[in-house]
A and B are shown apart, each in its own frame.
Chain A
Amino acid sequence: MNENPKIIAFLCNWCSYTGADLAGTSRMKYASYVRVIRVMCSGRVDPTFVIKSFQEGADGVLICGCHPGDCHYHEGNYKCLRRFHLLQKYIKQMGIQPERLRLEWISASEGREFSELVNEFSESIKALEPSQIKESIETFS
């Protein structure tokens, strides 16, 4: 159990961030462990951002982009989808539970969906032990 997880969320500016904003303005409650980073497009989420987050102690990483077909840069979210699956396979091999990384599509109007997603993801991360990644890397070095 992890009572106080650190979660990083990369949100696409055009849809997901707006969705999150909507969740905020409509006072839908969502878990407060999440630190939001706004990016122009989910396609701009470099694998380095994700892995750096884990390295620096994140317990979970959430990436949100526009629904398929809706990306403002056409292909950005598909690129992100492929990277996401690759990263999943990679982190699994590195001893990091794949559940710690999640990708979802959230549109600008899906405030409720966003807050539900965040709550659900937060619960699933809370259910895991705190991430050992940072410590493991440090103890060994």
Chain B
Amino acid sequence: MTKEVKPKINLAVYWGAACGGCCVSVLDVHESLFTVTEHANLVFWPIALDIKYKDVESMPDGFIDVTLFNGAVRNSENEHMAKLLRKKTKILVAYGSCAHMGGIPGLANFSNREGIFNRVYLESESTSNPEKVFPQQHHKVSEGVLELPEFHNDVKTLNQVVNVDYYLPGCPPQTERLVEVFLAIVSKTDLPPAGSVVGALDKSQCDECKRKKSDNKLVKVFKRPWQIKDDGVTCFIEQGVICMGPATRGGCGVRCVEGNAPCRGCYGPPSDVTDPGLKMMSAIATMIDSNDSAEIEKTIETIDDPAGTFYRYSLPGSILRRKVL
């Protein structure tokens, strides 16, 4: 390798409505952190650096070369920061399932603000709130005013708020994938066209999965994982258990299936598919072992919570986006 001195790029990491797992996965680069800092100045990363929102505001537009944005857009603060970072950033990366498709917090789109507030602040089994107090955006106390961000009615993916250049899927993404993508970005080689998913395979999980599959995946009854004695080797679907493998992009090393749990789709749909749940429904339609309407209905009865399973990580990013209330 020839040694050439490249100017360092400016890197930022930010979270929206996230669990922190994505930030931890970035920290988990461990030794590779040095590879990263060799090529990049970390200019903004709230969990690790003392740089304030104000400092970001005063950066010139396009000052940040790459921002890894993790987390969904849940409230007004997430939304504001997404817009601000878009302005300041050349390459905006939706990092992780939450930013990519809404992720687990996106399951909130089965409900809305009112539904969530009522459950959490009124009805919860341990809450006592006879005066029906809810968190307020502006609350006057004797000493002054206390502010909170506005809790939106639904969860959005990052690209439903701003333009996104790349998507790095996973909950969280595999750290090795991040390092590869990062190096591709700094060396400005092998970059696919803007809007692409990076750091994952084109094919489905099933392609990588070591479990035994036969050609006749025919099912009469779908079962919950605890209703079978998993033999540890046969494809889950052939054992009657819903596994999102066929509608999920590979790249994680099929890690859940390796742990004897069916895939739940955090890597998002393969490259030729827009809506993972609809893809899954198509796949399942070929597996149901019946041509009789009533029997088919009975088989489908055994699929509990199809929407919450087929869109476990992708409800806000799906075609319907949310439950119609």
Spot the interface stretch: A9-17, A78-86, A112-120: A78-86
Q: Does B160 make an interface contact (CB < 8 A)?
A: yes
B274, B293, B307, B320: the one within 8 Å of A133 (CB): B320
Q: Enumerate B284-325 residues with CB–CB distance to A below 8 Å.
A: 284-286, 288, 290-291, 293, 296-297, 300, 303, 305-308, 310, 319-325
Q: Does B65 make an interface contact (CB < 8 A)?
A: no
Q: Enumerate B1-47 residues with CB–CB distance to A below 8 Å.
A: none
Q: Is the CB of B285 within 8 A of A79?
A: yes
Q: Is the CB of B323 within 8 A of A95?
A: yes
Q: Is the CB of B307 within 8 A of A93?
A: yes
B156 contact set on A, CB distance < 8 A = 141
CA of A95 to CA of B115, assembled, Å: 15
Most buried by B among A90, A95, A136: A90
Q: With contacts A47-B278, A90-B306, A136-B325 known, is A82 near B320, CB below 8 A?
A: no
Interface size for A (C-beta < 8 A) is 28
Flag A81-118 by CB within 8 Å of B: 1 or 0 each: 11101110110011110000000000000000000000
Q: Which B-chain residue is minimally distant from A97 (CB atoms)?
A: B324
CA of A52 to CA of B284, assembled, Å: 20
Q: Is the CB of A90 within 8 A of B324?
A: no
CA of A18 to CA of B321, assembled, Å: 36
Interface size for B (C-beta < 8 A) is 35
Q: Does A132 make an interface contact (CB < 8 A)?
A: yes
Q: Is the CB of B275 within 8 A of A81?
A: no
Q: Is the CB of A78 within 8 A of B300?
A: no
Q: With contacts A48-B278, A95-B325, A140-B153 known, is A86 near B320, CB below 8 A?
A: no
B288, B293, B320: the one within 8 Å of A55 (CB): B320
Q: Is the CB of B321 within 8 A of A81?
A: no
Q: Which B-chain residue is minimally distant from A47 (CB atoms)?
A: B278
A46 contact set on B, CB distance < 8 A = 278, 282
How close is A11's CB to chain B, nearest CB, in angstroms? 19
Instruction: Give 16 pairs: A residue, B residue, CB < 8 Å, sorted on A.
Output: A46-B278, A51-B278, A52-B319, A54-B320, A79-B285, A81-B296, A82-B288, A83-B285, A85-B297, A90-B310, A93-B306, A93-B307, A94-B320, A133-B324, A140-B112, A140-B154
